């Protein structure tokens, strides 16, 4: 009797510990494997822009170098965002248009968003 209770307790603890892992896998979409390198490229480019802004504020980077550096990283981030947006649109329904990122500020959008959570821009007119 006590052995059965111990096994039930161990099972409950294992379920409690493993539940977040099960939920994380369940949330993954089929097209996400293709989006991982693009998502990483976007994050790295945005981090490089923040680093350049910090270096400029600290006086380590001139205005000309800052403009050149940030433009290059902005281009990389926008390219990745556009590819992610295209991949998200075609992965859901080939005929449907859905934006993955706000065209105004670049914030990642949740599915079926009508407004951007970052800047408040209306998205309905853009998706037509």
Q: At what angle do helices 63-92 and 32-57 cross, to 10 degrees?
A: 160
**80, 101 Cβ separation under 8 angstroms:** no
In three-state secondary structure terms, 59 is coil
Nearest-angstrom CA–CA distance, 61 and 110: 36
Helices (H), 61-114: 63-92
Nearest-angstrom CA–CA distance, 6 and 29 = 37
pLDDT by position in tens, the chain (length 128): 788 888 898 888 888 888 777 766 555 454 455 568 888 899 999 999 999 999 999 999 999 999 999 999 999 998 888 888 777 766 655 545 566 788 778 888 887 777 787 787 777 654 43
């Amino acid at each position: 009797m006590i052995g059965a209770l111990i096994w039930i307790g161990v099972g409950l603890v294992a379920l409690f510990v493993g539940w977040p892992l099960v939920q994380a896998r369940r949330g993954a979409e089929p097209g996400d494997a293709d989006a991982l390198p693009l998502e990483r490229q976007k994050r790295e480019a945005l981090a490089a822009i923040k680093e350049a802004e910090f270096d400029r504020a600290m006086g380590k980077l001139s205005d000309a170098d800052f403009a050149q550096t940030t433009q290059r990283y902005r281009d990389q981030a926008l390219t990745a965002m556009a590819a992610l947006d295209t991949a998200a649109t075609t992965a859901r329904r080939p005929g449907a248009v859905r934006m993955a990122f706000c065209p105004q500020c670049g914030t990642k959008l949740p599915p079926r968003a009508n407004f951007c959570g970052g800047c408040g821009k209306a998205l309905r007119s853009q998706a037509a």
